[in-house]
A and B are shown apart, each in its own frame.
Chain A
Amino acid sequence: MSAAAARADAGTAVARVRGLRKSYGDREVVAGVDLELFAGECFGLLGPNGAGKTTTLKLCLGLVEPDGGSIDLFGYDLPRQAREARQRVGVVPQVDSLDPDFTVSENLLVFGRYFGLSDAQVKARIPDLLEFANLSGRGDAKIQALSGGMKRRLTLARALVNDPDLVILDEPTTGLDPQARHVIWDRLKQLTAQGKTLLLTTHFMEEAERLCTRLSVLDQGRVIATGEPRALIAEHIEPQVVEVYGDGVDEWASAHAAPLSERCERTGETVFCYAHDAGPLVASLAAWPGLRHLHRPANLEDLFLKLTGREMRD
């Protein structure tokens, strides 16, 4: 789809998920999820481990039979019309599934065949795909010779071999170093600029904040918040945050934190104070030389921790 067509298309729903449910044994992993994706947006699914993100994606690809609810992708009813729907989707899975028996180019060629593309069609696309993945000149390299970042970029290129309208990415930057992560972010922004719709899961809040036009926070199989990242933060979190840690943090907290902040939480050795005006709170720290602090605007991580709690999920 061209960028112009995508803009004309903006506002039309690419995917509509209603009341989606899926249980494994007694555990309801997806417990009534509603989602709506519009053309050209980058939609994030955020949630702690075990929140149901990956299962939701698999349901949206028609790879898992739902127990209830409906999934509509490009007007196709899933899982019944999964084949037709997947023809227009590209997938970047969480776990590397590049074909180790093939070179970089062969991976793209063979994957293109799965979509019914002729070898000539795929070969014509390979130079562009390699350039997009920053792998030009590496077409004959073996997969084993690629770094983690290169593999992930090739996986992204592989997901684009059929020129999909929707790209689904399951934790696309997990396990990558910061440089490699920034390259992936840059490429994903290029894709949205081209008019592709993206659906991604992540637990990197910075990633979600940078990339996502809208997002849903998922917890225990339910959507607990949906909206634009900045709007969600403004709705749920005080605008300023002071993180305080060091010797005597408990004494300082009981003396100042509660009266000078609207909300105060402790995680490990750090006290998080939330306020509309953090000035008096920061001023109070001057008399506590043993303490260190960080004064910053509220971010998505604060929202995420408020909505899903601070305890470990495993």
Chain B
Amino acid sequence: MAADAQSRRTVARASPWRLPAFSLRALHVWRRNFLVWRKLAIPSMLGNFADPAFYMLALGYGLGGLLPAVDGLPYIAFLAAGTICYSTMNTATFEALYSAFSRMHVQRTWDAILNAPLSLDDIVTGEALWAATKSLFSGVAILVVVWLLGLADSWRVLWLVPLALLVGLCFASLGLIVTALAPSYDFFMYYFTLVVTPMMLVCGVFFPVAQLPDWLQSVSSVLPLTHAVAIARPLLAGEVPGQVLLHVAVLAGYGLVAFHIALVLARRRLLR
């Protein structure tokens, strides 16, 4: 039996680099996470929304009182756009790192799902969509505060809603790369210290990028958060942002490439 031609055939192996296969089953993963979130929504929202909101209020009024107009805006209005972007980034990042890692590695939720008729592609897609959804929640929550403060009086600010989703998808995908590589939670400190925090500091969240030395401006110009802020700030001021296509393309490009890398790494880690 073992000698017949069929049993000796070597299987044409699917490359881990194959393109993602998207299916609506990814939404089952999204729904699972949504159901958990509904139970823990209050502490979850506090972390993702109250924290950046307090920073925005305290720095915006406290520090802002000492400052002249920044880029032609009162400091709190300047800071509001940056806060929406970085809280969106942070929410997606936390979800794609700590929460997704718990489900992948600690609770073995991904393993359980893989025994059902879902693929790893479905799971990673569902996780990215979920992390982006959560960042949408926190982006919108901050936007509501900004609106209540009277800092958003143009309908153009509604464009910040799809922007938050795009920024969420971009950083969720980047975060999932780190998760797929992580041996333990401690590993995430590298990403936060070396990537997330510097990005928050040099991408125009708290002060204009133009304040930085040239070399640091060059670094900033290739980071995705810079491009998010570049769209968000004019929108919040009621203006039409310049070079929208470029900024959207950078965010989408980071997101798509990162998503594929995250998926390849997850396939190598789990489907072996």
Binding site for B on A (CB under 8 A): 18-19, 24, 32, 34, 61, 63-70, 79, 82-84, 86-87, 89, 91, 93, 95-102, 106, 110-111, 113-116, 162
Contacts and interface: CB of A to CB of B under 8 A. Distances in A.
Contacts of B107: 97, 99-101
Given A19-B2, A102-B35, A113-B28, A87 B7 contact: no
Nearest to A168: B115
Contact of A96 (B28, B36, B108): B108
A114 B28 contact: yes
A68 B109 contact: no
Q: Which of A63, A83, A98, A101 neighbours the largest number of chain B CB atoms within 10 Å of its CB?
A: A101
9 contacts: A18-B1, A18-B7, A19-B7, A65-B14, A67-B10, A83-B117, A100-B107, A101-B39, A114-B116
B44 interface: no
Given A24-B272, A86-B115, A113-B28, 7 more contacts: A19-B6, A19-B8, A65-B271, A67-B10, A68-B8, A114-B25, A116-B25
Contacts of B6: 18-19, 70
B269 interface: no
A69 B11 CA distance: 7
B114 interface: yes
A4 B111 CA distance: 34
Contacts of A100: 107
A84 B1 contact: no
A71 B25 CA distance: 24
Contacts of A19: 1-2, 4, 6-9
B1 A66 contact: no
Contacts of B108: 93, 95-97
Contacts of A93: 108, 111-112, 115
B57 to A, nearest CB: 32
B28 A70 contact: no
Contacts of A24: 272
B11 A65 contact: yes
Interface of B: 1-2, 4, 6-11, 13-14, 25, 28, 31-32, 35-36, 39, 107-109, 111-119, 271-272
Contacts of B116: 86, 111, 114-115, 162
Contacts of A34: 1-2, 7
Q: Which of A70, A87, A100, A114 neighbours the largest number of chain B CB atoms within 10 Å of its CB?
A: A114
Contacts of A69: 7, 9, 11
B11 A67 contact: yes
B240 to A, nearest CB: 43
A91 B271 contact: no
Given A24-B272, A99-B109, A110 B35 contact: yes
Contacts of A61: 115
B117 A87 contact: yes
Contacts of A102: 35-36
Contacts of A32: 2, 7
B8 A65 contact: no
Contacts of A114: 25, 28, 113, 116-118
Given A34-B2, A91-B115, A97-B109, A70 B7 contact: yes
A86 to B, nearest CB: 4
Nearest to A87: B117
A65 B13 CA distance: 7
B36 to A, nearest CB: 4
A203 B109 CA distance: 26
A34 B10 CA distance: 15
Nearest to B23: A83
A101 B39 CA distance: 9
B112 A99 contact: yes
Given A64-B272, A70-B6, A114-B117, A97 B11 contact: no
A18 B36 CA distance: 42
